[in-house]
Amino acid sequence: MTDRKTSFLITCGGGPGILAQVEALKISRRHDARIILADSNPASGNLFLPEVDARYVIPPCGDPAFIDALIRLIVRENVSFMYSGLDEEMPVVALHRHEIQAAGARVLLPGHDALMGAFDKEVTLRRLDGKVLMPRTFVVDDEFDDGRVWDTLAGRLIIKAAASRGGRFIFVPDDREEYDFYLRRVRRVNKQTGMRFLVQALITGTEFNVSSLHDVTGRAIYAVSRRKFETRPVKSVTTAAVIERNDLVIKQALNVVSAMNLIPGFNNVEIIVSKDDGLPYFIEINGGRTAAQDANLVASGINLTDLLIDLACGRDVPTIDHPEDGLASLKIRRDVIVPYSKIEGIATP
């Protein structure tokens, strides 16, 4: 260990994406980490992992009390660094980064507007139009013509929410009857909640994601491609992926990050190499965060949290070569057994 004990806060404590950060902190040879997790749900199993030194319940990021509670927690635990990997939360953290850093915690995130654009697929598509290869896409609005879109895309399409996480509100109709059914459903959801939807050409082929990290100048520290080898038709939440270098896919992903101005920090880009024309089509980007399966990066020797700390401190970080192919990440469900009294007793800042 070359550095003193480091208090590291992860605020999306209940999500699957934090496990790579926890593992990186645990195995770090440079930082004796005190791992602090916080989540709005006290029943999040991750909070009770044995590696966790302290756990807190905080308001959800949409609550006006969120920032004040977060700052109290940072001061109380003398937090030095903070990671938020929740799509809705990161823009809030970025907007208040100066208050958070004044309280003592350094963050590594792109700007608020860039993160908001990454979370909204409709905005993302507008910003990337003409810059990267993307599936043909239609917005389900008052001008949307059901029959014309069906015919234009030859019935090979996917319906998805414009702003949502994981596999929520994603539908792949098998035929025109299902297409009409799903359109009625999403229009009803839109009327009830205001949620917007897109209809996109369904690209079939080999699906990849690319995890990357950039410094404040926009220089890529690493960019690692993984091939998804699970059999589900929709792989928004990846359960099986293997590190496999594909330079065409990596180039496309880095172009997306640059065009979206998602620097500094982590990003994860979803790309499908079409079986029809062999070209890499951009599908979506998870801006500002690592991927849920980045544990295989950590296992390959890329310590995510060491790098975050270095970049957040303004240190010069050398580029990292692509790891060797072949290391796979497989998701499993793990139960955490804990006395109910501990759940009831989780502290609030």
Q: What is the mean pLDDT of residues 49-53?
A: 94
* Residue 77 resides in a domain: yes
- With 70 as the cut, is the pLDDT of residue 235 above it? no
CA distance 246 to 243: 10
Preceding amide of 323 cis, omega within 30: no
* Residue 343 resides in a domain: no
**What is the CATH classification number for the domain harbouring 68?**
3.40.50.20
Chain segment 60-110, per-residue pLDDT in tens: 999 999 999 999 999 999 999 999 989 999 999 999 999 999 999 999 999
pLDDT at 85: 85
Both 189 and 210 in a single domain? Answer: no
Whole-number Cα distances in Å, 100 to 37, 206, 291? 16, 41, 24
pLDDT at 12: 84
More confident residue, 211 or 333: 211
pLDDT at 128: 97
pLDDT at 125: 94
- With 80 as the cut, is the pLDDT of residue 232 above it? no
* Number of domains composing the chain: 3
pLDDT at 234: 67
First to last CA, the chain: 30
pLDDT at 131: 95
pTM: 0.93
Whole-number Cα distances in Å, 24 to 8, 156, 341? 11, 41, 29
Both 207 and 298 in a single domain? Answer: yes
Both 226 and 154 in a single domain? Answer: no
Both 211 and 280 in a single domain? Answer: yes
Q: Is 167 helix (H, G, I), strand (E, B) or coil?
A: coil
Both 171 and 211 in a single domain? Answer: no
Cα dihedral 178/180/182/184 (nearest 10) = -150
Both 160 and 257 in a single domain? Answer: no
More confident residue, 293 or 177: 177
Both 169 and 228 in a single domain? Answer: no
Chain segment 106-134, per-residue pLDDT in tens: 999 999 999 999 999 999 999 999 999 99
Last residue of a domain, one of 201, 224, 245: 201
Both 93 and 161 in a single domain? Answer: no
Chain segment 243-292, per-residue pLDDT in tens: 999 999 999 999 999 999 999 999 999 999 999 999 999 999 999 999 88
Both 159 and 215 in a single domain? Answer: no
- For residue 146, what are the domain limits? 136-201
Chain segment 140-157, per-residue pLDDT in tens: 999 999 999 999 999 999
What average pLDDT does the structure give for the chain? 93
Chain segment 180-215, per-residue pLDDT in tens: 999 999 999 999 999 999 999 999 999 999 999 999
* Residue 125 resides in a domain: no
Q: What is the mean pLDDT of residues 19-24?
A: 93
pLDDT band at 137 (very low <50, low <70, confident <90, very high): very high
CA distance 280 to 134: 8
CA distance 117 to 307: 25
**What is the CATH classification number for the domain harbouring 216?**
3.30.470.20
* Residue 337 resides in a domain: no
pLDDT at 238: 73
Last residue of a domain, one of 201, 233, 249: 201
* Residue 180 resides in a domain: yes
* Residue 347 resides in a domain: no
Both 313 and 244 in a single domain? Answer: yes
Both 90 and 142 in a single domain? Answer: no
Last residue of a domain, one of 171, 201, 231: 201
More confident residue, 333 or 278: 278
pLDDT at 139: 96
Both 149 and 210 in a single domain? Answer: no
Percentage of the chain beyond pLDDT 70 is: 97
**What is the CATH classification number for the domain harbouring 177?**
3.30.1490.20
pLDDT band at 236 (very low <50, low <70, confident <90, very high): low
pLDDT at 300: 95
* Residue 152 resides in a domain: yes
* Residue 102 resides in a domain: yes
CA distance 233 to 236: 9
